[in-house]
Structure 1
Amino acid sequence: MAGSETDRFWKEFASRHWEQEPLSLPSSPVQLGIGDEELLRALVLAADPENRLEGSGLPKVVVTVDGRTQPIDTRVFLPLAEDGSLDDYLARVDRHMRDHEWSVAVSGLHAVSAPLWDRAKRMSDDVFRWTGTRVAGRVDIDTFIGRYTSTNVGVHVDHAGNFGFTLRGRKTLLTWAPEHAEQVPQHTADYASARGLADVLVGEPGALTYFPSRQLHVGESPDAVAVNVNIAFFTRSDPAAVVLEAVGGLLGRARPAGEPGADAHVADGIPAPTAATLDALVGLSRGEIEDAVWEHSMRALTSGGLGVGRPSESPVPVPRDARVRLADEVVLRQRTLADGRRGVAVQGHTVKVADHPRLEAALTALACGDTLDLGQWERDTDSAAVPLLHAVLLRLSAWRATRVESAESGTVRSAGPVL
């Protein structure tokens, strides 16, 4: 019954709401499915700058007090060691800020939490399955916590379709269709004159809200602390940025040891560090650039648009007589790289190993949804391919990309995410 109810929801959502009109359900068959403990853990990890992923800047924390973004130490606004629960954390911060409005916004929670990564990926897969749409931009899972009269930036457009789940309190969202843009004051909290034109979405525990990417919106939670977790689908993308980011990563790795400082000799009007970067750029081959762009693109494709790899867990060696297949909804792509190695992309990660035709064939079978009998495969294959495949499978297990069935017991030894 639950499955058919969920199917009915998605069918109606795809036909009436996706990128068309807002939705507010007081009780929804689609829930976040992430408990207080995991959200608290993700916030603790997000509070430590050491956990920010290089190149992505995620997770990102923004704190506001009385509507102003604070260039201050944000640690007091995030969970501390003495906070035993989500409610303890919320009560502590609200006591500290009892005479002020406050909010904490943390984006990119999927960069530090595997359960949140899995949940956002599943939502992305569901949207794609029912609407046929993979957004051009990125997918993000974030939280917005606080007690505030209105979102600090006022009425605004994110260019992201937004699913909202409320874990605590009550959050009201006012949204306006883009055709009302000229009648709605934007980037200000003074929008009372346009309130009558708004669709009102109510977020409470058990409810679901959604608004399309072009919708103007503002949030309100003035009476008590609200905790919202949002899964956002950004619709804007710059193809040139993909190439620039990929090439920038290559240049970062190619930077020679002992690179001259910023005050080094300037030749022909070009600072020496810049000249060194230009030399490194000229030295890149077309194949190297294509590989970097492929890896960047596969990070997005295999993560459902999340753009970062699933946080790794302890790898589980795969028995040599096991049966292996990809976990449900896992996407695997592969490529022969310019240096002759095989690149394998899955769950937002890439692993690179020596190439072998039998390795390529085995990975192709997995990518097509086949189950690989490793014992039979080893008997039929070149022995040189065996350690290569097991090296890949070990990495895949750390990203929970496979389901492995022991030949002896018939039980699953390791598995992908279960939601």
Structure 2
Amino acid sequence: MLNVTSPEFVTKVWRREVAELATCSVTPPVAALPDCLNEFLKAARGASKTPGQAEAVTVIDGQRSDSLETSQMFDPDLDADMDTYIQRIETKMAGRFWNTAYFGLPAVNAEFWDFAKAFADLVAQALGHRPGGRVDIDCFVGRYEWTHTGAHVDYADNFAFTARPGKVMLTWPSSVSGVAGAKWPEYNTFRDQSTPLKNLPDRIAYFPYDTYHVAESPEEVSLNMNLAFWDDCRDTGKVVDRVRHALNSKGPKRAPIGINGATTLAVEDADNLNTLRRLVSQGDVERWMAESALRRESSSRLGVPRPISGPVGLAAEVSLLPTAGLQWYVSESREWMMLGGNGHVAQMPFDRQLLDDLASLVDGGTVEVGSLASDATLGRVLQSLAKWGVVGPPAQTAGQ
């Protein structure tokens, strides 16, 4: 089997065809799944608020539940681990088919955030560029006849990691006519044209962004995590939407009769022009663009900040952690700057010394925290960077 970092994968497989790839050094933190999935349950019960990217969906006997079935979700009060969770639901279902999908794992769990970023960096190094869309991880658990949506396209390049086998993914290239949307038993007509991907723990199942696919796991409860590289990035559109929201799109109730010759802008247009000038001159648009770019790029395009759980102390000596993302942007006016670390973003006044200190960190330098003045800007910034998971004890110190 090919490795995801091999030249053959890049030149012959990526965005061209499905493949079963060899596992690599970057593996999903399966042991963290209980804590991760518990965040979805807490959100469903109103005990916490999950980001917009995080969502859970329950399907029973091929029908999606209108409301989220919290009894189908991992519950730490009932489930000691993933095995007991699966056994509980299997007993409850008494032979019925079921599956629960958890979308947006990096938005709620730091270990899955770290895994997604590390794998995204691995793929980017192999390709020589980053795919343009966002990166995310979904988790699928259940015993089900077929994906309830039928044969569909994700518009994302998918790498599927398996913790429990049983699932087979039927895939078709986009050139196969008529398979789109086909459900059971209709898609059986196209089965002989499909390429099945086995989801097994000893391999990574890959399929390109435009591949039609449907999953089957009728005999065993399978547990899979899909890392997706989405085809498009909507961040630019979000900035445009913010500008559009600031403008008045309604025309006048009454308009002048008008005469030939010179004219002036309508009141509404003049107001919008002044609003645009203000948004640009006061730096609003620049700030929106910088914040969007830093959140996206310092997270390797996960687009969500690394989750923070509990207080994080600052070690006596710190350096940039190996997998961390740290970037900054200086405004055109040089009045302010913006710092991005692992998807977190903060704005502050422009500080030349701070820029030099940050550049030293990126170049592999360390900082003796105790030697900093009590009012040093760098000290306050390091506190935030430690909380964001960007800096920590140097490798040789951490291992002692």
TM-score interval, smaller chain = 0.7 to 0.9
1:241 alignment partner in structure 2: 237
Give the AA of the match of 2:330.
Answer: T
2:398 alignment partner in structure 1: 412
Q: Cα gap change, 1:94/1:373 in structure 2, threshold over 3 Å: closer, same or farther?
A: closer
TM alignment of 1:58-137, pairs within 5 A: 58-80=53-75, 81-137=77-133
Give the AA of the match of 2:313.
Answer: V
**CA distance in 1: counterparts of 2:27 and 2:233, whole angstroms:** 26
Q: Cα gap change, 1:216/1:281 in structure 2, threshold over 3 Å: closer, same or farther?
A: farther
Question: 3-state DSSP class of the match of 1:213?
Answer: coil
Note if contact 1:107-1:142 (Cα within 8 Å) is conserved in structure 2: yes
Q: Please say if 1:316 is aligned against 2:313.
A: yes
TM alignment of 1:318-337, pairs within 5 A: 318-319=315-316, 322=317, 324-337=318-331
**CA distance in 2: counterparts of 1:355 and 1:143, whole angstroms:** 42
**CA distance in 2: counterparts of 1:30 and 1:13, whole angstroms:** 16
**CA distance in 2: counterparts of 1:375 and 1:88, whole angstroms:** 45
1:396 alignment partner in structure 2: 385
Q: CA deviation at 1:33?
A: 3.8
Q: Which runs of 5+ in 2 are unaligned?
A: 247-251, 254-271
Q: CA deviation at 1:244?
A: 3.9
Note if contact 1:155-1:187 (Cα within 8 Å) is conserved in structure 2: yes
**Aligned pair partner of 2:212 in 211, 216, 241:** 216
Note if contact 1:40-1:85 (Cα within 8 Å) is conserved in structure 2: yes
1:196 alignment partner in structure 2: 192
Give the AA of the match of 1:90.
Answer: I
Question: What's the RMSD between the two structures over aligned residues?
Answer: 3.2
1:39 alignment partner in structure 2: 33
Note if contact 1:318-1:404 (Cα within 8 Å) is conserved in structure 2: yes
Q: Cα gap change, 1:231/1:280 in structure 2, threshold over 3 Å: closer, same or farther?
A: farther
- TM-score in terms of structure 1 length: 0.79
Note if contact 1:185-1:194 (Cα within 8 Å) is conserved in structure 2: no
Q: CA deviation at 1:292?
A: 1.5
TM alignment of 1:292-307, pairs within 5 A: 292-307=288-303
**Aligned pair partner of 2:347 in 352, 355, 363:** 352
Q: CA deviation at 1:374?
A: 4.3
Q: Please say if 1:362 is aligned against 2:348.
A: no
Question: 3-state DSSP class of the match of 1:175?
Answer: strand
Q: Cα gap change, 1:374/1:103 in structure 2, threshold over 3 Å: closer, same or farther?
A: same
**CA distance in 1: counterparts of 2:202 and 2:129, whole angstroms:** 26
Q: Which runs of 5+ in 1 are unaligned?
A: 252-267, 270-277, 415-419
**Aligned pair partner of 2:155 in 144, 149, 159:** 159
Q: CA deviation at 1:83?
A: 1.0
**CA distance in 2: counterparts of 1:394 and 1:214, whole angstroms:** 43
Q: How many corresponding residue pairs?
A: 370
Note if contact 1:161-1:213 (Cα within 8 Å) is conserved in structure 2: yes
Question: 3-state DSSP class of the match of 1:32?
Answer: coil
Q: CA deviation at 1:17?
A: 1.6
**CA distance in 2: counterparts of 1:101 and 1:10, whole angstroms:** 39
Note if contact 2:5-2:126 (Cα within 8 Å) is conserved in structure 1: no
**CA distance in 1: counterparts of 2:55 and 2:86, whole angstroms:** 19
**Aligned pair partner of 1:169 in 159, 165, 168:** 165
Q: CA deviation at 1:283?
A: 9.3
Note if contact 1:246-1:293 (Cα within 8 Å) is conserved in structure 2: no
Q: CA deviation at 1:298?
A: 1.4
- TM-score in terms of structure 2 length: 0.83
**CA distance in 2: counterparts of 1:149 and 1:33, whole angstroms:** 26
**CA distance in 2: counterparts of 1:279 and 1:52, whole angstroms:** 38
